[in-house]
Amino acid sequence: MNSANSPLGKPLDRVDGPLKVTGKACYAAEAEVPGLLYGAVVSSSIARGRVTRINAAAAEALPGVRLVLTHQNRPPVASYDKPYEDDDAAEGSPFRPLYNDRVLYSGQPLALVVAETQALARHAASLVRVEYEVEAHQTDLQAVLDQAHDAPAELPEPRGDFDSAFAAAANRIDREYETPVEHHNPMEPHASIVQYQPGGELLIHDKTQGVQNCQRYLEQVFDMEGKIRVLSPFVGGAFGSGLRPQYQLPLAVMAALKLKAAVRVELTRQQMFTFGYRPRTVQQLKLAADGEGRLQAIEHRAIGQTSHFEDFTEHEVEWSGMLYACDNVRLGYRLAPLDVYTPLDMRAPGATIGVYALECAMDELAYEVGIDPLELRLRNYTETNGNEGKRYSSKELRACYQQGAERFGWSRRPAQPRSLRDGHQLVGMGMATGVWEAMQMPASARACLDADGRLLVTSATADIGTGTYTAMTQIAADAMGLPMSEVEFRLGDSSLPQAPLEGGSATVSSVGSAVQRACAGLRQKLLDAVQQSPASPFTGASLDAVEFVDGQLRLKTGEHAVALRDIVQVSGALDAEASVKPDEKRDAWATATHSAVFVEVRVDEDLGTIKVSRVVSAIAAGRIVNPKTAGNQIVGGVVWGIGQALHEETLIDHRLGRYMNHNLAEYHIPVNADIPEVEVIFVEEHDEVVNELGSKGVGEIGIVGVAAAVANAIYNATGRRVRDLPITLDKLL
């Protein structure tokens, strides 16, 4: 499509918006299924031990209760006797619900009560009595730091001589930072409906970020290859919590197989705290710089918690070896097993907490050297990823710094902490750099033009609220020269063309490239069809000689045009399928998105209360397909980053090994009153290496660096440095 009419790059409304605001979008627990039964999970009340007895008599005696499923009466599960995994698995043995009598963590599912109504199932579950043989547990990371082991992560080798460079430097800092456990709290709780069909096939509605991952997982677990189809057209938020299949899914399958009926299992809000989370970490940063602030040495060591049955790893320290120019770098990453469930990827996993520590340390170094924190970052700017020894395919971080600082008014920032006041409020300004990977995964898509000239594009990807429906519709409409109203994109069905998990900000790059390639194949078929007649004015024309504009195929000379609808009315519906994978030319380059976040805070001098009053986030993420939905992602990331800095923390009573604030009343997240106007700047960035679209993705980058910018602003306001998140008023007073 010509650039004037192309929908690419325009801030268009979400195509699925009307369905969502009118309540017509159907989520996992809302599918209308005849004869549906309801399951309620019984969770363990201890953190470690054995189940000695499950007394379900009172529950089973209730009219309408159909089953109490436990490890003693579950159907045979093929994979419980052999290894299996999913696309987001950690190293180790995946958790197996109802495997045996062992209790591995507090909140572990021990039974499933299935009844004819949801209310009855939950009431009956409350009547199930579990007796235990209790064993001593440990859930406190600080208590087992000396028991940590090396994480199974491919860390970059040390470069240079850190010890000598650190010892010889004019300026040195050595700081420890701590981040807490945080839990996913998407609006839609995890839920699954499993429909048992004649012949033993299963049709499943699941809250997931990857229908084909769930399908493969269940096929392995239950030895049912070719008998499972998974649907998930709408997801009410996930951001990592839907990458791995959660335990309600195999529980629902077990019950459906045993009863040969349709079963729904939906987790309560409290049970949303009984699986993956962002892990608690303790991080040590050592930075050294010369008198001008140029980095001489960096050491970043982190210890994160994991479960006893899996080693959860994420990219936590690598950012310190790639974000700035430094010849002497040493990185370390260890894990400490606890009697807890395995952590899980959570928006910008690893970077959210690793970059927090790095960017706070950079701020502390700036004060140590006596230069502006932004100037410190500019003096250490690099066009090369030091971990890989490769230049970036594109990097407009300087422009992020410049445009963000100008819009924010960084030049007015007081260098001396505690020197700017507004009445009884101390005002401070802070900033931080953000970075995230620019990934692409193998993906496929199919494009079909029907006899009415309408385009249907399909891929088994997901839309977790990020705007996938809209972005893919824009890409397809642009590729075929059709108005958005003539294009439909379908996703969330495991029977559709292959797609990766929706995560890592890679969906537009991966699936979008496949959509573009499928449409290219369809354009060729349309040209071939219109050339069938010997008298066709298009005879002998190549794709380079024609264009697809305003629903027409026409010669670029403008002499002849034919409506796409007219072509398919003669030829019949046409379709094309394409698969893409990362181009080999990427191998020679480092690829990443970057950001610069600027924050102003106001701290009540007497009460210690903190208010974020201004935020500017400048993003360099290649081609932005839809600035409106992309801007939504950045604003959402900023909100989450403010929550990370000031609010979010899952508190555990280590005597019980149990999370105590497992609800939305006491698990604090930001509300409207906590969030100021957030200004998002998309810096122009062209990249012909990352993928055919030139897009890098924006889902993760919005949160990276925000917590550090808030923490740095609080120091500028108060002169008090808090190094363990969240920063609450009791820590400031």
Domains of the chain: 37-136+187-238+242-273 (3.90.1170.50), 277-439+587-731 (3.30.365.10), 441-581 (3.30.365.10)
Query: What is the Cα–Cα distance from 232 to 90, expressed in whole angstroms?
Result: 24
pLDDT > 60? residue 701: yes
Contact 548, 564 (CB under 8 A): yes
- Compute the mean pLDDT over every residue in the chain, rounded to the nearest whole number: 96
Q: 465: closest CA among 209, 703, 265, 275?
A: 209
Query: What is the Cα–Cα distance from 179 to 279, expressed in whole angstroms?
Result: 8
Q: 317: closest CA among 279, 272, 285, 341?
A: 285
Sign of the torsion formed by the C-alpha atoms of 540, 543, 544 and 549: positive
Contact 691, 583 (CB under 8 A): yes
Tell me the chain's radius of gyration from C-alpha atoms: 27
pLDDT > 80? residue 88: no
Query: What is the Cα–Cα distance from 605 to 380, expressed in whole angstroms?
Result: 35
pLDDT the model gives residue 89: 77
Query: What is the Cα–Cα distance from 382 to 366, expressed in whole angstroms?
Result: 18
pLDDT the model gives residue 289: 98
Q: Helix-strand-coil percent breakdown of the chain, rounded to 5? A: 30, 25, 45
- 102-103 and 329-338 as β-strands: parallel, antiparallel, unpaired? unpaired
Contact 617, 148 (CB under 8 A): no
pLDDT-derived band of residue 534, with 50, 70 and 90 as boundaries? confident
Assigned token pair, 134: 């209790």
Please tell me whether residue 726 adopts helix, strand or coil conformation: coil
Q: What angle do CA 400, 404, 405 make, to 5 degrees?
A: 115
Residue position matching structure tokens 């710094």: 401
What are the DSSP calls for 440-465, one per residue?
A: ---EEEEEEE-TTS-EEEE-S---SS
Range in 36-40, 79-83, 129-133, 291-295 with the lowest mean pLDDT: 79-83
Reported as a single tens digit per residue, the pLDDT across 457-498 is 999 999 999 999 999 999 999 999 999 999 999 999 999 999
Mean pLDDT of 660-686: 97
- Single-letter amino acid code for the residue at 441: M
Tell me: cis bond preceding 726? Omega within 30 of 0 counts.
yes
* pTM of the predicted protein model: 0.97
pLDDT-derived band of residue 82, with 50, 70 and 90 as boundaries? low
DSSP 338: E
Query: What is the Cα–Cα distance from 477 to 483, expressed in whole angstroms?
Result: 6
pLDDT-derived band of residue 334, with 50, 70 and 90 as boundaries? very high
- 182-183 and 295-307 as β-strands: parallel, antiparallel, unpaired? unpaired
Dihedral, CA atoms, 711, 716, 720, 723, nearest 10 degrees? 20
Assigned token pair, 85: 């995994």
- HSE at residue 211, side-chain half, CA atoms within 13 A, is 29
Q: What are the Cα distances from residue 552, in Å, to 447, 482, 546, 582?
A: 17, 8, 10, 31
User: Order of strands, edge to edge, in the sheet holding 129-134?
Assistant: 102-103, 49-55, 129-134
What are the DSSP calls for 535-588, one per residue?
A: T-TTTT--GGGEEEETTEEEETTSS-EEEHHHHHHHH--EEEEEEE---GGGGG
Contact 701, 593 (CB under 8 A): yes
What is the H or E stretch that residue 334 is in?
A: strand 329-338
pLDDT the model gives residue 558: 81
Q: 356 Cβ partners below 8 Å, 6+ apart?
A: 177, 179, 644, 705, 707, 708, 711, 725
Mean pLDDT of 280-306: 98
Query: What is the Cα–Cα distance from 526 to 22, expressed in whole angstroms?
Result: 37
Residue predicted with more confidence, 92 or 337: 337
pLDDT > 80? residue 81: no
pLDDT the model gives residue 85: 67
pLDDT the model gives residue 3: 59
- 65-69 and 329-338 as β-strands: parallel, antiparallel, unpaired? unpaired
What is the H or E stretch that residue 469 is in?
A: helix 468-480
Contact 497, 491 (CB under 8 A): no
- Single-letter amino acid code for the residue at 264: R
Sign of the torsion formed by the C-alpha atoms of 400, 402, 406 and 412: positive
Q: 171 Cβ partners below 8 Å, 6+ apart?
A: 288, 289, 290, 291, 293, 365, 368, 369
pLDDT > 80? residue 104: yes
Reported as a single tens digit per residue, the pLDDT across 205-259 is 999 999 999 999 999 999 999 999 999 999 999 999 999 999 999 999 999 999 9
* Terminal CA-CA length for the chain: 60
Q: Which residues are marked as active site?
A: 700
pLDDT > 80? residue 84: no
With 0-12 / 13-18 / 19 or more C-beta atoms within 10 angstroms meaning exposed / middle / buried, residue 198 is exposed
Q: 660: closest CA among 652, 671, 648?
A: 652
Mean pLDDT of 36-47: 98
